[in-house]
Amino acid sequence: MSSSVGTEILLPPASLGVVGGGQLGRMFIQAAQRMGYRTVVLTDEADGPAAQVAHEVVKGKDDDLRTLQRFVSRVEAVTVEFENVSSAGLRWLSARIPTRPDWRAVRISQNRLREKTFLSRHGLPTAPWKPVRSAEELAVAVAEVGPSMILKTASSGYDGKGQIRIDEPGKALDAWDALGRVPCVAEGVVDFTAEISVLVARGRDGQMETFPVGMNRHERHILDSTLMPAPVGPIVSQEARDLARTIAEAMGYVGVLCVECFLAREGTLRVNEIAPRPHNSGHLTIEAATTSQFEQQVRALCGLPIGPTTLRSPAAMVNLLGDLWSGGPPDWSNALRTDPAASLHLYGKGAAPMGRKMGHLTILDPDPETALARALAARQGAVVGNVPI
Ligand code: AMP
C-alpha cells in the first residue's frame, strides 16, 4: 500500500504538511520544526493547537478541492494527525505528493467493520465479533457473540462514544435503535486484566521499530494514564510487539501506528483498535524515548531512518482533561511545586469542557509505578476548588 509518488529523501528545510489541527498535529509540527523542517497545517480551526505553532495555515476543509489545491502547492509531503480525515481528500493528495500513511490504511481504521475484517482476515486475535447492519444480523450476533456484548457504531466513534453494552439479549434491539440503526460491530465482552498499547514506526524501506509496551488506564472510556514499560512480563510484551509489527507489515504501512490490545484474564492478547498515527499512550516518548513517536512520524514521512525506541527511563503520563478546569484555571505553579521534574504539556485549547483533552503531564522515574504516582500527585496539585479527578 505504499504511495507510488515520491521516493526521494526529504531533507530540512523541506515543507511538511499535516492534515488536521489538534494536539497530535501540534506535537508532530514541534518535532518537525526541531529538525529544521517547515510546517503547514490544513485545518478549519485557524487558532487550534496545530495552527498556533505551524509556520503556515491553510484554512479550510480537507474534502474541499480548492483547499486541497492550496495545501498541495505549499508542501512537499503530507501526513495526518488523526484518522477522521477525508480519505477521498487524502487519496487526492497521494496522487500528487508523498502521503504517509497511505489513504487505504487510514480508511481501514476509520471504520470498525473494515478494521475487524482486516484483522480477522490476517488471523489476528480480536474479541469475538459480528457485523450488525440489519435486524437479522443483530439476531445472529446475539446468538453467536452474546449474551453480554458491546455494540459499537462502525464509524465516528472514539473515547467510548457510540457504544452500548448489552447484558440482556432482549435489550439488543433497543440498543441498536439508540445508536440510530447505523452499521455496527457487536463485540463479545473481554474479561481483561489490562489494556495495553504498542506503537510501531515503519520506514519506507520496511525498517520497523516498536516502542516498549504501554499500560493504559481509562476513566469513563477516556485514556487517563499510561505507564511504560507495562508490567506484563517478557512473553506478553514480545507477543504484543510482534502483533504490531505484523499489522504494520500486512498494511505495507509507512509511518507510526498504534495497536491497542486487551490482555485477557487467561493471558492472551486481543486487538481492540488500530490508530494510523501517533497515539495518546505514546506522548511520554517525547521525554522518555531516544526517538519520540512524533519524530518517528517525521522520519518515516521524509524517508529517513527510523530511530531507536529504547527508553532513557521508564515513565508515566497522565492526561489533563477539561474536568480539571471546572473549579477555575488549574494551578500549574502548584503542580510543578508538587513535582518540579514534571513535564507539562498544554495544547493551547480555549474552551475546557469535561472530557476534552487539554494537555498532559509526564514524569520519568526508574520505577514506572512511582512515575505514575508522582504524575497523579502533580496533577492533583493543579486542582483548584473541589474537582473530582
Ligand atoms: P474503544 O472505543 O473500542 O477503544 O472502547 C473504549 C473502552 O471500552 C476500551 O478502552 C475498554 O475499556 C472498553 N471496551 C471496549 N471494547 C471492549 C470489549 N470488547 N470488552 C471489554 N471492554 C471493552
Instruction: Please report, as a single letter, which amino acid is at residue 311.
Output: L
3-state SS assignment for residue 262 = strand
Instruction: Specify the fold of 15-110.
Output: Rossmann fold (3.40.50)
Residues lining ligand 1, Cβ inside 6 A: 127, 150, 160, 187, 189-190, 195, 218, 221, 272-273
Mutual angle of helices 293-302 and 23-34, in 10-degree steps:
70
Q: What is the CATH number of domain 313-389?
A: 3.30.470.20
What tens digit of pLDDT does each residue of 184-196 get?
999 999 999 999 9
Give me the pLDDT at residue 2, please. 45
CATH 1.10.3720.10 for domain 128-188, yes or no, is: no
Q: For ligand 1, what atom is nearest to the CA of residue 216?
A: 10
Grid cell at residue 322: 477539561
Instruction: Specify the fold of 190-309.
Output: D-amino Acid Aminotransferase; Chain A, domain 1 (3.30.470)
Domain with CATH 3.30.470.20 in the chain: 190-309, 313-389
Cβ-based neighbours of 340, under 8 Å, separated by 6 or more: none
pLDDT-above-90 percentage for the chain = 93
Q: Whose CA is nearest to atom 9 of ligand 1?
A: 221
Give me the pLDDT at residue 388, please. 55
Task: Report the alpha-carbon angle 87-91-97, nearest 5.
Answer: 135
Handedness of CA 117, 294, 201, 62 (dihedral sign): positive
Handedness of CA 350, 279, 310, 256 (dihedral sign): negative
Q: For ligand 1, what atom is nearest to the CA of residue 190?
A: 20
The structure's pTM equals 0.95
Confidence of residue 1 (pLDDT cuts 50, 70, 90): very low
3-state SS assignment for residue 153 = strand
Q: Whose CA is nearest to atom 10 of ligand 1?
A: 221
d(CA 167, CA 349): 38
Ligand 1 centroid to Cα of residue 260, in Å, is 10
What tens digit of pLDDT does each residue of 370-389 get?
999 999 999 999 999 765 55
More reliable by pLDDT, 230 or 156: 230
Q: How much is the average pLDDT of 148-152? A: 95
What tens digit of pLDDT does each residue of 282-303 get?
999 999 999 999 999 999 999 9
d(CA 20, CA 44): 8
